[in-house]
Amino acid sequence: MIGHIIVLKLVLIFTVICFIQPLSVLAGESGETRLEAGSGMKPAVKIIKFVPPTGEYRNGDTVYSSLAFKNEGSSQVRIWAGYSVCDAGKNWHDAPCFGPVNLAAGEVSALITLAWKVPNDASFTGGLFGVRMALWDAPPGGGGSKRLDFIDRAGAFYGFNDNIEKQIILSALAFKSIPDCVKPAGNRGRLLWKNAASGGDSGSVSLVLRKDSFDGAEIFSEQTFSYGHFEAVIKTPAVLKTQYTNSSDEEKDNAGEGFTLKAVTGFFLFEPLSEDEITIEIFNDGSRRVWFSAFIGGKQRARAESVLEFDPGAGFHSYAVNYSASGVEFFVDAKSAAVFINDGGGLKSPRNDKMKIYFNSWFPSWKEFQPFYLSDTPRSNYITTIKEVKYSGRQLKSTEE
């Protein structure tokens, strides 16, 4: 009986040793605990606060991101904090790490702020940046370091790269392509792709609706403008007028129905901060419809609709805006098309003397174009061409006066 007890004790001791051994940790020089390589155990360290960057940054700017963390384990730990950003081209860029931070069991770190400087070169792709902050048991990037916790924020900030984003010159005015993605709500619709705008050899600009995609294109002037006369010579995509249907994608494809381009071409004045806007929007669906609108603070105050006497995709035509504090008048081929007057009944158009000139070609989420089907993507590239743009401080008189 005694022999059986001794054997049982030996088995228990052996079992305890076998289970405890993989959980062992090594003591560092300062007494904190670190993971033993290959042990499979991680210290209970958790990120409890994350303050990612927001806003817009350019070459040479510093982008700060912060975090705080807690040692939820029962032993002291030594931790390094890392900070990385992912550019619009899906390339990662690392900021210098911070550490070590020594935390006793249950202790919370101070808020730690790390910095990444936007390179002044072509090493990154401009656009929306993602942010990642992480905790490590050793300096990240070194041999044997392990990531203990991390947190991400997609699309945290917008980084411009002026070394890549070339100016587009149109009639001696400098324009730039819109960032990769603009707000998809309100009176704006789908994704706008910055690479779809390009300058031609003749000084014109092309806005391309890409085949098999709902991407569009948009450019805006670098300069802001006060009141005056704004005019552009535009040719919209050449399309055939067809009818909308409510049939499914498969039924439409099988029936071989004609294609309708559910897109618009826009020429407008816009101030992004206030969202004041004056717009001319030409339907690209073959209907020859055009909308003239005015927005104050992002809210529509006036709109007029007209049907053009010509096919806007068959040739170049002039579209113009007379803009003043007293109101706005729209012209098509020098003929008055619509007038919004600011009178005693309230403001119908904005009073903003810091407007930029915009042109775009895009797919709105308007009910006039619903429903959208996969087969509504362009079957080839459709191009809007802007041949000329003019600005003068004088007001052009209507030819119909």
pLDDT of residue 92: 95
Per the listing, tokens 């897109």 go with 263
Amino acid at 64: Y
Locate tokens 């670190």: which residue?
Answer: 34
In sequence order, the 6+-apart residues with CB closer than 8 A to the CB of 320 are 229, 230, 231, 232, 330, 331, 332, 334, 396
Q: What is the mean pLDDT of residues 332-343?
A: 94
In this prediction, what percent of the chain has a pLDDT beyond 70? 75
What gap in Å lies between CA 226 and CA 392, rounded to an integer? 10
168-392 belongs to which CATH class? Answer: mainly beta
Per-residue model confidence as pLDDT tens digits over 29-42: 333 333 333 334 45
Work out whether strand 289-296 and strand 173-177 pair parallel, antiparallel, or are unpaired.
unpaired
| 3-state SS, residue 125 | coil
d(CA 342, CA 34): 72
**pLDDT 10s digits, 252-305:** 433 334 678 889 999 999 998 889 999 999 999 999 999 999 999 999 999 999
pLDDT of amino acid 250: 40
Range picked from 34-43, 138-147, 299-308, 373-382 for highest mean pLDDT: 299-308
CB-based contact 301:349 (threshold 8 Å): yes
359-390 burial: b if 16+ Cβ within 10 Å, else e? bbbbbbeeeebeeebeebbbeeebbbbbbebe
Q: How far is it, in rounded angstroms, from Cα 309 to Cα 111?
A: 65
Contact yes or no for 167/161 (Cβ under 8 A): no
Dihedral (C-alpha) 391, 392, 394, 400: value to the nearest 10 degrees?
A: -40
CB 372 within 8 A of CB 220: no
Q: Which phi-psi region, left, alpha or beta, contains residue 346 (left: φ > 0; alpha: ψ -120 to 50)?
A: left
130 token code pair: 């993602």
Q: What is the mean pLDDT of residues 127-136?
A: 93
Assign 143 a pLDDT band (cuts: 50, 70, 90).
Answer: confident
Q: State residue 197's pLDDT score.
A: 67
User: Where do the CATH 2.60.40.10 domains begin and end in the chain?
Assistant: 42-159
| Displacement of CA 148 from its chain's centroid (Å) | 31
Determine which of 35-44, 80-89, 137-146, 189-198 has the lowest per-residue pLDDT on average: 35-44
Question: Using 50, 70 and 90 to split pLDDT, how confident is the model at 166?
Answer: low
Q: Which two three-digit tokens encode residue 6?
A: 């001794």
Closest CA to 271 of 299, 293, 296: 296
Q: Which amino acid is located at 359 in the chain?
A: F
Q: Where in the chain is the domain with CATH 2.60.120.200?
A: 168-392
Q: Architecture of domain 42-159 in CATH?
A: Sandwich (2.60)
Rg of the chain's alpha carbons, rounded to an integer?
Answer: 31
Cβ burial of 208 (10 Å; 0-12, 13-18, 19+) is buried
SS3 state at 173: strand
User: Which comes out higher in pLDDT, residue 89 or 11?
Assistant: 89
